[in-house]
Amino acid sequence: MTTKAMQRGFKLILGSQSMARKRILAEMGYDYTIVTADIDEKAIRTEKPEDLVVALAEAKANEIISKLGGESQFAQDPQPTLLITADTVVVYKGVIREKPTTKEEAREFIKGYSGSHGGVVGSVLVRNLKTGVRRGGWDKAEVYFHEIPEQVIDDLIDDAITYKVAGGLTLEHPLISPFIDSVVGGVDTVMGLPKELTEKFISDVL
């Protein structure tokens, strides 16, 4: 199978283990390898969620490049290698929410969304490791929820995936999807990788 990366003459690295990001990139027609970053996300703080997700995507890219031996390793390659990193946070009543770390925090997060809404801010950074050219930015969406029953909240708190996603919620989770009223903005942004920005930045860095 010929993928878009092959057709356009580059290799692609996704700097994420997120199932949703893997699926979105595959839906876009790209094949890729995965290299993940080992960074302390809590050590990077900014006041604005837009600045935070961009800073975290940058930190992930820098750590992965270091892990791969530096950009100089790619300078002589006949084909460019592009690295994609991303980050997502939820903003609820002006407060940034990352992955919940305790059951109490997860319950507080999910109960807050019930009959209410939360904003999602997601970044993407695309870096050409052969040339050093990079482009990054962020996108926003808002998710509106119906009332979420207590039993559903209990079941979500017992599910390990809740602790692996920003704000403790994933749109495609079968427990939560019936209680989503609407999404204003891109569903792909909520899921962790804004397609339009990603496609634009890939073209920009080639």
Asked if residue 128 lies in contact with residue 205, where contact means CB atoms within 8 angstroms, the answer is yes
**CA dist 72 → 13, 127, 135, 155 (Å):** 16, 13, 19, 48
Reply yes or no on whether 87 is catalytic: yes
How far is 205 from 167, CA to CA, in rounded Å? 31
| Catalytically annotated residue among 38, 87, 139, 155 | 87
How far is 173 from 4, CA to CA, in rounded Å? 29
Phi/psi of residue 61, each to 5°?
A: -60, -45
Residue with tokens 């950009």: 71
Asked if residue 34 lies in contact with residue 67, where contact means CB atoms within 8 angstroms, the answer is no
Torsion on CA atoms 38, 42, 46, 50, rounded to nearest 10: 60
Residues forming the active site: 87
